[in-house]
Amino acid sequence: MALPAHHALFQHDLPLTTSDYVLAFLTLCNLAIQFTADNQQHAFQSYKYSRPPHNTHPSETQEGEQLGPYGPRAWPGARIEWTDEDVKRGFITKGLWAWSRHPNFLCEQMFWFFQALFPILASTAGQHALSGTPKLAADVDTMTPLWPLVPPLALSGLFIASTMFTESISKSKYPAYEAYQARVGMFSPSDTLWKGLFFRVRGRLDEVNAIVYGGKGCVKAE
């Protein structure tokens, strides 16, 4: 995973370009989304395992800790109103998880692709910027600089294999997980849109949404 950074060490003579600033911005946004996804999962699991017994006031746990509709200590990006229906389902299907079955895994992979693009785009820009300077042009990688993509591609292969194994366990534990797989994309939110269109054409969208998202449908984070 450090190969793109190693490649960038030999580009010290290249100036920062627009691509560097854009990739830096996308990386920060990506980390913020991953942070939100992990916190939404944490908030759900906290609510799931910290709910008071049925004979206890719903606003308090057994220890007197305020639980509320969002779960204990939920930060703003994870303030989703969980219900008994969500807990009975057993897994999270709200917030970012309504659009991707593994939004945190998607962000993890995207982070390393962004890092690989730093030296790739810098090499491309450098070849044009330094083409008239023979002394510096020799220090620029004149070959196709796509090989830094090999590490993130290998990581994605690992993620796909491990995620399929993880989902096979979830599918055996939760009866509704098969419907979740059919309705929501494994990583890409665009797959979720296409799946929704597919079920709408077949006239089963409301039925599947009720199983996956509950009676009230998808509830977004505040």
For residue 181, being part of any structural domain is answered with yes
Question: What local confidence, expressed as pLDDT, does residue 71 receive?
Answer: 58
Question: What local confidence, expressed as pLDDT, does residue 186 receive?
Answer: 97
pLDDT tens sequence for the chain (222 residues): 888 888 777 777 778 889 899 999 999 999 999 999 999 999 999 889 887 554 444 444 444 344 555 655 667 788 898 899 999 999 999 999 999 999 999 999 999 999 999 888 887 655 544 444 444 444 444 445 788 899 999 999 999 999 999 999 999 999 999 999 999 999 999 999 999 999 999 999 999 999 999 875 444 433
For residue 218, being part of any structural domain is answered with no
For residue 221, being part of any structural domain is answered with no
Question: What local confidence, expressed as pLDDT, does residue 74 receive?
Answer: 67
For residue 220, being part of any structural domain is answered with no
For residue 189, being part of any structural domain is answered with yes
The total number of structural domains that make up the chain: 1
Question: What local confidence, expressed as pLDDT, does residue 27 receive?
Answer: 97
Question: What local confidence, expressed as pLDDT, does residue 147 receive?
Answer: 85
For residue 219, being part of any structural domain is answered with no
Give the structural domain span for 179: 3-51+60-213
For residue 127, being part of any structural domain is answered with yes
Question: What local confidence, expressed as pLDDT, does residue 60 receive?
Answer: 46
| HEC secondary structure over the chain | CCHHHHHHHCCCCCCCCHHHHHHHHHHHHHHHHHHHHHHHHHHHHHHHHHCCCCCCCCCECCCCCECCCCCCCCCHHHCCCCCHHHHHHCCCCCHHHHCCCCHHHHHHHHHHHHHHHHHHHHHHHHHHHCCCCHHHHCCCCCCCCCHHHHHHHHHHHHHHHHHHHHHHHHHHHCCCHHHHHHHCCCCCHHHHHHHHHHHHHCCCHHHHHHHHHCCCCCCCCC
pTM of the model: 0.79
Question: What local confidence, expressed as pLDDT, does residue 144 receive?
Answer: 55
Question: What local confidence, expressed as pLDDT, does residue 79 receive?
Answer: 87
For residue 102, being part of any structural domain is answered with yes
